[in-house]
Chains A and B, each alone.
Chain A
Amino acid sequence: MSRRAAHGGPLGGHHERPDARAKVAGSTRYVADLALPGMLHAALAVSPVPSARVARLELAAARALDGVEAVLTAGDIPGKNQVGVVFPDQPLLVEDRVRMVGDRLALVAARTPEAAWQAARLVQPLLEALPGVHDPVAALKPGAPSVHESGNLVRTFRVVRGDLARESARAHVVVEAEYHIGGQEHAYLEPQGCLAIPEGRERITIITSCQCPFYVQQAVARVLGIPLAAVRVEQAPTGGGFGGKEDYASEPAACAAVLAFATGKPVRLVLPRELDMQASTKRHAVVVRHRWGADRDGRLRFAEVDTVMDAGAYIGLSTVVAERANVSSIGPYDVPAVRVATHVAYTNNLFGGAFRGFGAPQVTWAAEATMDKLARRLGIDPLELRRRNVLDDLRRRTSTGQLLPRPVLARECLDRAATLAGWDEFHARPRAGSAAAREGMGIGLALYGCNLHHGGQRLDRSSAVVILQADGSVVVRVGLTEMGQGNLAAAQTIAAQALGVDPAVVQVWQPDTTTVGDSGPTVASRGAHMSGLAILDAVRRLRTRLDPVAAEVLGCRAGEVELAGGLAFVRGEPERTVPVARVAAEMAARRIEGIATGWHRTKARRFDPETGTGAPYEFYAMACHIARVKVDADLGLVRVEEVSAAQDVGRVIHRDALEGQIQGGIVQGMGWAISEELKLDRGRLANPSFTDYTIPTAADAPNVKITVVESEGATGPFGAKGVGEPSLIPTPAAVRNAVCDALGVEIDRLPLTPPTIVAALGERHPFAWLLSEKQVDDHERLATVDRDG
């Protein structure tokens, strides 16, 4: 066990994650590993077309199939047919209008999964195709088919700050660009699923793979028409989330709940991979237009950003994603005048939602591309251009006008990443010249607003329960979820550090809506922060009862009691000790309350949604990634050889979990940047499988170098900030900039697949002449299957 010089205890150490041993042995039970006697299997009948009116649903054949116990449609929902997490625009089951491929038409419960899915296929929908819209920019033009009666523009968010006219006049170089940025599929290894266990038609338990049991609780209570307290949601061990199980998990849960109430039996639903990929939420595809200007010295003067987000058929979390994208559009740079507009558009495409970074990766990719373009136009090294503009301890105002507290670590991260990457050495030596291996290096720099945006304040609270057992072991419950990122380890570590005990005596159990208060979703890199602060609050309250007992045993005053190394001791007299376990036994014997709850909520802050100015986030974390790539220019193949990462984390809670997050975020970001493409054909995903939606394998992993920047003053537990998303956001930008550096060409389309790269090379490609000679159809030339109808 590692000890920290200043404080001692497990904080910052390498101790085993509490869930790792069971997982590696294969004994951890995920949803699909749970079964109850009499359990039924659920299946979904969904629409194969993106836009239609439902004339009729033929259910007879499905109902007649042997083993089928229920086939339900919208009319069978006992409560409200509504699952929209923010806006009520989304039915659980389609009533008369299909708006996306994968829209649910009917639910089936049967005694075997074969029968359930076969019955789902036997549901015959009579659909009358309606015109659909498949381009978010076109969707906002007059005359576009409306996805909802309210029109296709959901909302526009803005940032308006500074004197644009004056700053435009001061700019000598102006870069204009239009970026087409594709979406991303989470590709968690465990598909979405849940188990619903009814108690008559009064109460229900849902065990689900999810990031927010409270969202699930709300959705299930709504569709069943029962009070929240009658719905118990327990988070099952969850095989990956990344945002894809933030709100979407409520949908399978509501389906299973309705079937469970209808049949009176437990119902398990596990989505087949293809349906999961088609119908569940995705990172938003966006189109970003830039007009940025800098003066001769490379100082940014103004930045105009216009972003259109493809929300898909339902709003879901799109407005929340837009809020973050909106205020993250400029990056950690000092820009006197900014105009940002972020439009959310309905289409009949894939369902846009939360995905690690939550709008920031897209706008950061664009911002960093524009910075590199400016650098090239000005003839300034891209690293130097960033140094000249980055926020620091003197220039502390973000693009929204928020004053950052010191230390502002953007420059520190930039410099440390550059040193790690060997930026100067790389640029000093001659580059490998062959077309099969062109080298390049590129920077991605991001400023990440930790925790929830001002618009989500009402959700930004967290609950914890700590129970000191009679033998000195400790039960901890929190409302934030473990999905692989290490929240269990963080909670365990923080509780152990605060109680002065070995992490091995602290048992953190899965979140359950009947044991903790609503703590909001595990997103926005807020898990460790919110769990930790709530745990610390609970420990404080527990100690109001524990310390006096320890003091009695030790013969001192309650205020002199310290806890460390499994012992209670007198401050200043470390040899006067008693084991914490003995104090616990004493408390139990005296019937003193050994259970304490904890609560944390973020402080209110000022933000004006109209102008996008003020303090959208409580605090910020910086991250800089520098990627080194080798590109086979003739084939357009990118090999990311190395990524150097500098992360501003405040305080390390668990070192292995931190490194794992960074390594994982880099690879997930890299996949989005170069090999993951959602190939849409009028709203239908043409590659809904791991075969053709190609995420990185072990053979693709780059060498990752990490430098962790710790600092004092952050308000998280022991000064920790979040790292879940800052570990991904800068990578795709760094990769794009490295590829463009290698090839000497601008690429404004993501992902940088082989056809996209070859297309960007245009006439410079040694075989470009082939295509003009061959008279290949223009669309066939080099564009992939695209979104427009």
Chain B
Amino acid sequence: MAERVTVSLTLNGERRTFEVPPGRRLLDLLRDDAGLIGTKEGCGAGECGACTVLLDGSPVTSCLVLAASADGHDVVTVEGLASAGRLHPFQEALVTRGGVQCGFCTPGIAVTGAAILAHREADPSEQARLLSGNLCRCTGYTKVIEALQAVTGMEHE
């Protein structure tokens, strides 16, 4: 397959351009072409949420998005949640409240959590429902929701 597609996108706030095979998934563009290994592959079928990134501000499972489809769009990965050298408040809360165990689901959870906060959803049951696409096998979710609740309502740009 000699064909390549050009994918130009805003990635963690920076304009980037890549030449990739047409069938490349956004997940692999991020990990292999952009070297951003924070986004993980847990199942490859959009069911576990470990590959979650923000596409134009909305959480999506990047294993199901063609890199070519991201052309012209805005993508934020877990590496892009921090600002001015500081972790996103939800990331910080996950650390201080014990919401991190093996860590493999954590980047996806951090991304979806950031989106939940940006959407200003404050009710813990609704937050849990919005997080239901991010599977975790270690924590039982309690400390994750507690961390989210702890920063609900805080301002963060």
Q: Which residues of A sit under 8 angstroms from B31, Cβ to Cβ?
A: 33
A732 interfacial contact with B, CB 8 Å: no
Task: Name the one of B43, B134, B136 contacting A689, with C-beta atoms under 8 angstroms.
Answer: B43
CB atoms of A189 and B110 under 8 A apart: no
Q: How far is the CA of A469 from the CA of B106 in the complex (A)?
A: 32
Task: Name the one of A14, A33, A660, A689 contacting B47, with C-beta atoms under 8 angstroms.
Answer: A689
Q: How far is the CB of B87 from chain A (nearest CB, A)?
A: 6
Q: How far is the CB of A701 from chain B (nearest CB, A)?
A: 4
Binds A, one of B3-11, B65-73, B96-104, B149-157: B96-104
Task: Name the one of B40, B91, B145 contacting A30, with C-beta atoms under 8 angstroms.
Answer: B40
Q: How far is the CA of A424 from the CA of B39 in the complex (A)?
A: 48
Q: Which residues of B sit under 8 angstroms from A162, Cβ to Cβ?
A: none
CB atoms of B104 and A690 under 8 A apart: no
Task: Name the one of B37, B39, B100, B142 contacting A24, with C-beta atoms under 8 angstroms.
Answer: B100
CB atoms of A484 and B145 under 8 A apart: no
Q: Which residues of A sit under 8 angstroms from B106, Cβ to Cβ?
A: 23-24, 26
Q: Which residues of B sit under 8 angstroms from A656, Cβ to Cβ?
A: 97-98, 143
Q: Which residue of chain A has the shortest Cβ distance to B96 in the bound complex? A: A16
Binds B, one of A238-246, A260-268, A566-574, A628-636: A238-246
Which of B104, B128, B140 gathers the greatest number of chain A CB atoms within 10 Å?
A: B140
Q: Which residues of B sit under 8 angstroms from A749, Cβ to Cβ?
A: none
Q: How far is the CB of B111 from chain A (nearest CB, A)?
A: 9
Q: Which residues of A sit under 8 angstroms from B37, Cβ to Cβ?
A: 26, 29, 33
Which size class do B's interface residues fall under? 35 or more
Q: Which residues of A sit under 8 angstroms from B43, Cβ to Cβ?
A: 273, 689-690
CB atoms of B94 and A24 under 8 A apart: yes
Binds B, one of A384-392, A556-564, A662-670: A662-670
Q: How far is the CB of B52 from chain A (nearest CB, A)?
A: 11
Task: Name the one of A14, A23, A660 contacting B103, with C-beta atoms under 8 angstroms.
Answer: A23
Task: List residues 229-284 of chain A with CB under 8 A from any CB of chain B.
Answer: 237-240, 242, 272-273
Task: List residues 97-146 of chain B with CB under 8 A from any CB of chain A.
Answer: 97-98, 100-107, 110, 125, 127-129, 131-145
Q: How far is the CA of A522 from the CA of B113 in the complex (A)?
A: 32
B42 interfacial contact with A, CB 8 Å: yes
CB atoms of A237 and B140 under 8 A apart: no
Q: How far is the CA of A29 from the CA of B44 in the complex (A)?
A: 19
Q: Mark A1-44, 1 if CB is under 8 A from B, else 0.
A: 00000000000001011011111111111101100000000000
A150 interfacial contact with B, CB 8 Å: no
Q: How far is the CA of A20 from the CA of B97 in the complex (A)?
A: 10
Q: How far is the CA of A242 from the CA of B139 in the complex (A)?
A: 12
Q: Which residue of chain A has the shortest Cβ distance to B126 in the bound complex? A: A699
B60 interfacial contact with A, CB 8 Å: no
CB atoms of B101 and A26 under 8 A apart: no
Q: Which residue of chain A has the shortest Cβ distance to B41 in the bound complex? A: A32
Residues A704 and B98 in contact in the complex (CB < 8 Å), given A24-B110, A26-B78, A273-B42: no
Q: How far is the CA of A698 from the CA of B48 in the complex (A)?
A: 12
Task: List residues 175-212 of chain A with CB under 8 A from any CB of chain B.
Answer: 186-191
Q: How far is the CA of A691 from the CA of B78 in the complex (A)?
A: 24
CB atoms of A25 and B78 under 8 A apart: yes
Q: Which residues of B sit under 8 angstroms from A242, Cβ to Cβ?
A: 137
Task: Name the one of B41, B102, B125 contacting A188, with C-beta atoms under 8 angstroms.
Answer: B102
CB atoms of A189 and B87 under 8 A apart: no
Q: How far is the CB of A779 from chain B (nearest CB, A)?
A: 29
CB atoms of B101 and A486 under 8 A apart: yes
CB atoms of A660 and B138 under 8 A apart: yes
Q: How far is the CB of A167 from chain B (nearest CB, A)?
A: 41
Residues A187 and B41 in contact in the complex (CB < 8 Å), given A14-B98, A24-B94: no
Q: Which residue of chain A has the shortest Cβ distance to B82 in the bound complex? A: A25
Task: List residues 634-665 of chain A with CB under 8 A from any CB of chain B.
Answer: 656-657, 659-660, 662-665
Q: Which residues of B sit under 8 angstroms from A30, Cβ to Cβ?
A: 40, 104
Q: Which residues of B sit under 8 angstroms from A704, Cβ to Cβ?
A: 140, 142
Q: Which residues of A sit under 8 angstroms from B129, Cβ to Cβ?
A: 698-699
Q: How far is the CA of A701 from the CA of B131 in the complex (A)?
A: 11
CB atoms of B47 and A690 under 8 A apart: yes
A400 interfacial contact with B, CB 8 Å: no
Residues A24 and B132 in contact in the complex (CB < 8 Å), given A33-B37, A659-B98: no
Q: Which residue of chain B has the shortest Cβ distance to A22 in the bound complex? A: B103
CB atoms of A272 and B44 under 8 A apart: yes
CB atoms of A701 and B135 under 8 A apart: no
CB atoms of B102 and A657 under 8 A apart: no
CB atoms of A664 and B39 under 8 A apart: no
B54 interfacial contact with A, CB 8 Å: no
Q: Which residues of A sit under 8 angstroms from B142, Cβ to Cβ?
A: 659, 663, 701, 704
CB atoms of B139 and A664 under 8 A apart: yes
CB atoms of A190 and B128 under 8 A apart: no
Residues A21 and B101 in contact in the complex (CB < 8 Å), given A191-B42, A701-B141: no
A221 interfacial contact with B, CB 8 Å: no
CB atoms of A690 and B135 under 8 A apart: yes
Q: Which residues of B sit under 8 angstroms from A737, Cβ to Cβ?
A: none
Task: Name the one of A20, A24, A484, A701 contacting B138, with C-beta atoms under 8 angstroms.
Answer: A484
Please, could you name 18 A-B residue pairs with CB atoms under 8 Å apart, sorted by A? Answer: A14-B98, A19-B100, A24-B95, A24-B100, A26-B36, A28-B103, A32-B40, A188-B104, A237-B103, A239-B105, A483-B102, A659-B143, A660-B98, A695-B135, A696-B141, A697-B131, A697-B135, A698-B127
Smallest CB-CB A-B distances: 10 pairs: A26-B38, A484-B102, A23-B103, A656-B98, A239-B104, A663-B140, A484-B101, A667-B140, A26-B78, A690-B47
Known: A189-B136, A689-B43, A704-B142. 8 other contacts (CB 8 A): A25-B78, A239-B40, A273-B45, A660-B139, A663-B142, A668-B140, A689-B45, A698-B136
